[in-house]
Amino acid sequence: MISHLIGVFPWIRWLNGMITFRYNGEAFSEGIIVATKMWMIRGDGGKLYDDFRDKQVVAIGWSQLAPYVKPGCSREQLFTRYQELEPQTKPGTVRSGASQVWRFVNEMQKGDWAITYSPSNRTYLIGKIASDFEFHAEWLEDGMGIARKVKWNAEEIKRDSLSDATRNTLGSTLTVFQVPDFAVNELVQGKKPVSDVVPEVPVSGEEDEVVSNPLRDMEMIAFEGIKDRINRLDWDEMQNLVAGVLRSMGYKTQVSPAGADRGKDIIASPDGFGFENPRIIVEVKHRREQMSSQQIRSFIGGRHKDDRGLYVSTGGFSKDARYEADRSTIPLTLWTLDDLVRALVENYEQVDIETKLLVPLKKTYLPA
């Protein structure tokens, strides 16, 4: 089998029991050829991550099309039906959407790997697809009408533990796409590619129907790259970054020195002393773990009635923590790493030089 592959594909080499191949000029090695496909299902931009895990499913929306989807339906049938239901939608968008639904219903198989991503927690969940396509009318409003059962692995995979090559191949904005084999080997077996240079994933003839937006893909890869950069900061640098972002938004800040902070790492206010309202008390947690409801309750318990709260957690927040924040007796905002990056990018031109040195960025102009 290997000799046939090498004969047909001269860019494949067999060396010391490993298959080595060149991909866009870069070398990658695999101990095995991956026989099982892996599919990324990006539920509502990652917002359905907890629902996927709790319900043991993967699912996609296209609620207008979902009631008409049947196993074995063709791309053209889905395309035609989509056009009839949404005549104002651009043909390229219709074709891409119909093709992704087709893949989910017909090309994905029981036994294939599924993967989904939580941008707020920076974790991937992988598992084995355990059923054929199912239609769930009761989940339509949640964007989960087209679903498959999945047996998820108990352990999540941290984004920071993956190579740059694998991280970037998982960065497409498509809702459903197949993950390259070298990335599957790293995700499933922990085998990192020989080269960590980011490869470009070629589009085969079969995949021409699924059209990704290259500008949106670039934006997503850049956004995740900024998150990667920020996540490498130490705790003091993270605290100073948050303070710098608040200053760029028009506040003056007091930053607590290292050591006991009594539940307030930063005080932000118009006058810099905390005398003028709003007086924002900021807690910064730079950890991999999600913040729990107990930590939110503890933060709220130390606040005065006129305080405003901002809780920053690079590891995200549990569902219970968000419920606790909603019930807070003071106005309280939760910032994940995503929220911090958005605030930084939106206000970067107003950011002071000390903060820019922590996260240097450059402006790139793209066609509107």
CATH code, 336 = 3.40.1350.10
**Number of independent structural domains in the chain:** 2
On whether both 42 and 171 belong to a single domain, the answer is yes
Domain for residue 24, yes or no?
no
Domain for residue 59, yes or no?
yes
On whether both 167 and 238 belong to a single domain, the answer is no
The residues near 127 (Cβ < 8 Å, ≥ 6 apart) are: 113, 114, 150, 151, 152, 153
Domain of 329, in residue numbers: 231-358
On whether both 235 and 331 belong to a single domain, the answer is yes
CATH code, 117 = 3.10.590
* Model pLDDT, residue 28: 46
Asked if residue 250 lies in contact with residue 271, where contact means CB atoms within 8 angstroms, the answer is no
How far lies 22's CA from each of 3, 10, 95, 264, 351, in Å? 16, 9, 32, 52, 42
On whether both 153 and 276 belong to a single domain, the answer is no
On whether both 174 and 268 belong to a single domain, the answer is no
pLDDT tens, residue order, the chain (368 aa): 333 333 333 333 433 334 444 444 444 444 444 558 999 998 777 789 999 999 999 999 898 888 889 888 888 999 999 999 989 988 888 888 899 999 999 999 999 999 999 988 889 999 999 999 999 999 998 999 999 999 999 999 998 889 988 988 887 778 899 999 999 999 998 777 655 544 444 343 344 455 556 677 788 888 988 999 999 999 999 999 999 999 999 999 999 887 655 567 999 999 988 889 999 999 999 988 889 999 999 999 989 989 999 999 999 998 899 999 999 999 999 999 999 999 999 999 999 999 999 999 998 877 76
On whether both 347 and 236 belong to a single domain, the answer is yes
